[in-house]
Amino acid sequence: MTNLLLSDWNTPFGLAPFDCISDEDFAPAFEVALDEHKTEIEAIAGNTDAPTFANTIEALEGAGRALDKVLSVFFTVAGADSTPAREALQRAFSPKLAAHSAWVTSNKALFSRVETLWSQRDELDLSDEQQRVLMLTHRGFVRAGAALEGEADARMSAIKSRLAVLGTEFTQNLLADEREWVMELAEVDLEGLPDFLVNAARAAGAEMGKGPVITLSRSLATPFLQSSPRRGLRETVWLAFTARGANGHDNRPIAAETLALRQERAQLLGYDSFADYKLKTEMAGDPQSVRNLLTAVWEPAKARAEADAVTLEAMMHEDGVNGRLEPWDWHYYAAKLRRKQHDLDEAALKPYLQLDRMIEAAFSCAGRLFGLEFAPLDVPLYHPDCRAWEVTRNGQHIAVFIGDYFARGSKRSGAWCSAMRSQAKHPDAQAPVVINVCNFAKSDPALLSYDDARTLFHEFGHALHQMLSDVTYESISGTSVARDFVELPSQLFEHWLEVPEVLEEFATHAETGQPMPKAMLDKVLKAANFDQGFQTVEYVASALVDLEFHSGKPPADPMARQVEILEGLGMPHQIAMRHATPHFAHVFSGDGYSSGYYSYMWSEVMDADAFAAFEEAGSPFDEGMAAALEENILSKGGSVDAAELYTRFRGRLPGVDALLKGRGLTPA
Q: What is the mean pLDDT of residues 206-233?
A: 95
Is 397 strand, coil or helix? strand
What pLDDT does residue 280 have?
97
Q: What is the mean pLDDT of residues 85-96?
A: 96
Ordered alpha helix ranges (H), 497-557: 500-506, 518-526, 532-549
Global pTM value = 0.94
pLDDT over threshold 70, residue 1: no
Q: What separation in angstroms does the CA of 474 have from each of 51, 115, 150, 612?
A: 21, 21, 33, 31
User: What is the CA 586 to chain-centroid distance, rounded?
Assistant: 8
User: Do both 130 and 191 map to the same domain?
Assistant: no
Do residues 332 and 226 touch, judged by C-beta distance below 8 A?
yes
What pLDDT does residue 661 have?
85
Nearest in space to 504 (alpha carbons), one of 629, 415, 391, 620: 620
What pLDDT does residue 317 have?
98
Average pLDDT, the chain: 96
Instruction: Give a yes or no: residue 449 inside a domain.
Output: yes
Q: What is the mean pLDDT of residues 316-343?
A: 96
Nearest in space to 601 (alpha carbons), one of 552, 543, 556, 538: 543
CB within 8 A of 338, min separation 6: which ones? 344, 527, 530, 531
pLDDT over threshold 80, residue 606: yes
**Total domains, the chain:** 3
What pLDDT digit, counting tens, does each position of 104-128 carry? 999 999 999 999 999 999 999 999 9
Helices 108-119 and 128-144 cross at an angle (nearest 10°) of 140
User: Do both 368 and 507 map to the same domain?
Assistant: yes
User: Do both 85 and 210 map to the same domain?
Assistant: no
Q: What is the mean pLDDT of residues 457-471?
A: 98
User: Do both 433 and 503 map to the same domain?
Assistant: yes
DSSP 77-112: HHHHS--HHHHHHHHHHHHHHHHHHHHHHT-HHHHH
Q: Alpha-carbon distance 359 to 364, whole Å? A: 9
User: Do both 382 and 522 map to the same domain?
Assistant: yes
What CATH number is given to the structural domain containing 506? 1.10.1370.40
Any idea which residues carry the catalytic annotation?
459
What pLDDT digit, counting tens, does each position of 566-604 carry? 999 999 999 999 999 999 999 999 998 999 999 999 999
pLDDT over threshold 60, residue 358: yes
Q: What are phi and psi of 377, to 5 degrees?
A: -115, 140
What pLDDT does residue 477 have?
98
What pLDDT digit, counting tens, does each position of 359-401 carry? 999 999 999 999 999 999 999 999 999 999 999 999 999 999 9
What pLDDT does residue 347 have?
87
- Any idea what the Cα angle at residue 254 is, between residues 252 and 258, rounded to 5°? 120
User: Do both 93 and 222 map to the same domain?
Assistant: no
Handedness of CA 179, 183, 184, 187 (dihedral sign): negative
Is 523 strand, coil or helix? helix
Q: Which domain holds residue 55?
A: 4-147
Q: Alpha-carbon distance 330 to 530, whole Å? A: 13
User: What is the CA 632 to chain-centroid distance, rounded?
Assistant: 22
User: Do both 378 and 503 map to the same domain?
Assistant: yes
User: Do both 141 and 224 map to the same domain?
Assistant: no
User: Do both 236 and 90 map to the same domain?
Assistant: no
What pLDDT does residue 656 have?
87
Helices 642-650 and 483-494 cross at an angle (nearest 10°) of 30
Q: Alpha-carbon distance 447 to 488, whole Å? A: 27
Given 512, 530, 548, which residue is the final one in a domain?
Answer: 530
User: Do both 510 and 378 map to the same domain?
Assistant: yes
Instruction: Give a yes or no: residue 450 inside a domain.
Output: yes
What pLDDT digit, counting tens, does each position of 41-61 carry? 999 999 999 999 999 999 999
Q: Alpha-carbon distance 429 to 471, whole Å? A: 10
Q: What are phi and psi of 444, to 5 degrees?
A: -130, 105
Instruction: Give a yes or no: residue 247 inside a domain.
Output: no
Given 469, 498, 530, which residue is the final one in a domain?
Answer: 530
What pLDDT digit, counting tens, does each position of 250-277 carry? 999 999 999 999 999 999 999 999 999 9
Do residues 417 and 458 touch, judged by C-beta distance below 8 A?
no
User: Do both 118 and 229 map to the same domain?
Assistant: no
Instruction: Give a yes or no: residue 626 inside a domain.
Output: no
pLDDT band, very low/low/confident/very high, at 668 (cuts 50, 70, 90) = low
Instruction: Give a yes or no: residue 336 inside a domain.
Output: no
User: Do both 233 and 109 map to the same domain?
Assistant: no
Instruction: Give a yes or no: residue 29 inside a domain.
Output: yes
pLDDT band, very low/low/confident/very high, at 299 (cuts 50, 70, 90) = very high
Q: What is the mean pLDDT of residues 127-138?
A: 98
Given 482, 502, 530, which residue is the final one in a domain?
Answer: 530
What pLDDT does residue 344 have?
84
What CATH number is given to the structural domain containing 124? 1.20.1050
Instruction: Give a yes or no: residue 575 inside a domain.
Output: no
Instruction: Give a yes or no: residue 567 inside a domain.
Output: no
What pLDDT digit, counting tens, does each position of 482-500 carry? 999 999 999 999 999 999 9
